[in-house]
């Protein structure tokens, strides 16, 4: 058994149940892990503005946001930030208009949902996302995006494509937190359900896929727990940390 000193948890589809709350079982397991001296952090695709309340509810010290674009302490100290150049955002908006998909984006101070400013260059951008349930459209988008060298692609559901700056992912952000804590990735247990969790799951000492995870995530994991609606996070903590 590995000496786990840090637990990195995705939020949606992982830590949160389908009603977007943290189950009592998950809360109790996190509390017991922290009492044992294990750091617990959130590593999410969400913006700080839409995730900090969960971190505060659990008294978590570090939160990784926007797929690794930002790392914050809960005292709102910004540890790291990686941005997407405004010129790329402009190209992504053009692509969204061409294929007539729903899209959203995160700048450092705002979340944009299918409406974007004319003065794109005046904002600092962290992520862009497409969402479509049309497989043909999604394949056309991927065929274009995979040719771009300056971006990193992932998803947080089967219908979306998430775009970050090249080299930005949750694994790299977790590694930054590890360095601050004086531990290694081998001492991390990471839990997730989507493609934006794969690198974190692969590089952690123990990578856990949720029972509701996408198949590729399950294939990349060391162990598959129960679903997010069955306190899968608590099951993993009990098995690998609390024993």
Q: Are residues 174 and 161 in the same domain?
A: no
Q: Report pLDDT digits (tens) over 56-87.
A: 999 999 999 999 999 999 999 999 999 999 99
Bridge partners, 96 (sequence order) = none
Q: Report pLDDT digits (tens) over 11-49.
A: 999 999 999 999 999 999 999 999 999 999 999 999 999
Q: Which residue blocks in the chain are alpha helix, DSSP H?
A: 24-35, 52-57, 86-99, 135-145, 170-181, 198-203, 215-220, 232-237
Q: Are residues 71 and 182 in the same domain?
A: yes
Q: Are residues 179 and 236 in the same domain?
A: yes
3-state secondary structure 25-81: HHHHHHHHHHHCCCEEEEECCCCHHHCHHHHHHCCCCEEEEHHHCEEEECCCCEEEE
In 10 A of CB 197, how many CB atoms? 37
* Residue range(s) defining the domain that contains residue 121: 86-165
User: What integer pLDDT is reported at residue 239 of this predicted model?
Assistant: 97
Mean pLDDT of the chain: 97
Residue 242 DSSP symbol: I
Percentage of the residues of the chain whose pLDDT score is greater than 70: 100
Q: Indicate whether 1 belongs to any domain.
A: no
Helices 86-99 and 135-145 pack at an angle, to 10 degrees, of 150
User: What integer pLDDT is reported at residue 124 of this predicted model?
Assistant: 98
Q: Can you tell me the mean pLDDT for 170-194? A: 98
CA distances (Å), 49 to each of 13, 16, 76, 123, 231, in order? 19, 16, 11, 17, 25
User: What integer pLDDT is reported at residue 1 of this predicted model?
Assistant: 79
Q: Indicate whether 233 belongs to any domain.
A: yes
Residue 150 DSSP symbol: T
Q: Give yes or no for residue 229 having a pLDDT over 90.
A: yes
Q: How confident is the model at residue 102 (pLDDT cuts 50, 70, 90)?
A: very high
User: What integer pLDDT is reported at residue 184 of this predicted model?
Assistant: 98
Q: Are residues 28 and 147 in the same domain?
A: no
CA distances (Å), 8 to each of 16, 173, 192, in order? 14, 10, 9
User: What integer pLDDT is reported at residue 243 of this predicted model?
Assistant: 86
Q: Can you tell me the mean pLDDT for 206-222? A: 98
Domain with 180 in it: what CATH number?
Answer: 3.40.50.1000
Q: Are residues 103 and 161 in the same domain?
A: yes
Q: Indicate whether 214 belongs to any domain.
A: yes
Q: Can you tell me the mean pLDDT for 171-177? A: 98
Active site residue 222: no
Say how many Å lie between the first and final Cα of the chain, rounded. 10
Cα angle 234, 23, 127 (rounded to 5 degrees) comes to 90
Q: Number of helices (H) and strands (E), helices first, in the chain?
A: 8, 13
Q: Are residues 131 and 14 in the same domain?
A: no
- Residue among 236, 208, 234, 240 nearest 31 (CA): 234
- Per annotation, catalytic residue among 10, 12, 131, 193: 10
Model pTM?
0.96
Q: Can you tell me the mean pLDDT for 99-123? A: 97
Cβ contacts of 102 within 8 Å, gap of 6 or more = 114, 130, 131, 132
Q: Are residues 30 and 54 in the same domain?
A: yes
3-state secondary structure of 224: strand
Q: Which two tokens stand for residue 215?
A: 């198949």
Domain with 117 in it: what CATH number?
Answer: 3.30.1240.10
Q: Can you tell me the mean pLDDT for 197-206? A: 98
């Amino acid at each position: 058994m590995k000496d786990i000193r840090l637990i990195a948890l995705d939020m949606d589809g992982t830590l949160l149940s389908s009603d977007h709350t943290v189950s009592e079982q998950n809360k109790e397991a996190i509390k017991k892990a922290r009492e044992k001296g294990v750091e617990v952090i959130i590593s999410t695709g969400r913006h700080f503005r839409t995730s900090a309340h969960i971190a505060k509810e659990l008294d978590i010290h570090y939160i990784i946001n926007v797929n690794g674009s930002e790392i914050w302490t809960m005292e709102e100290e910004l540890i790291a930030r990686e941005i997407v150049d405004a010129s790329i955002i402009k190209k992504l908006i053009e692509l969204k208009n061409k294929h007539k998909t729903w899209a959203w984006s995160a700048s450092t101070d705002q979340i944009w949902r299918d409406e974007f400013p004319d003065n794109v260059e005046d904002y600092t951008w962290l992520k862009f996302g497409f969402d479509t349930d049309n497989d043909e459209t999604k394949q056309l988008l991927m065929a274009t995006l995979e040719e771009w060298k300056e971006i990193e692609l992932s998803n947080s559901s089967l219908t979306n494509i998430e775009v970050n700056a090249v080299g930005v992912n949750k694994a790299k952000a977790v590694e930054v937190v590890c360095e601050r804590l004086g531990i290694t990735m081998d001492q991390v247990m990471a839990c997730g359900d989507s493609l934006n969790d794969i690198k974190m799951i692969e590089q952690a000492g123990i990578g856990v896929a949720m029972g509701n995870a996408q198949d590729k995530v399950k294939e990349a994991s060391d162990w598959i727990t129960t679903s997010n609606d069955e306190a899968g996070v608590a099951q993993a903590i009990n098995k690998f940390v609390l024993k």
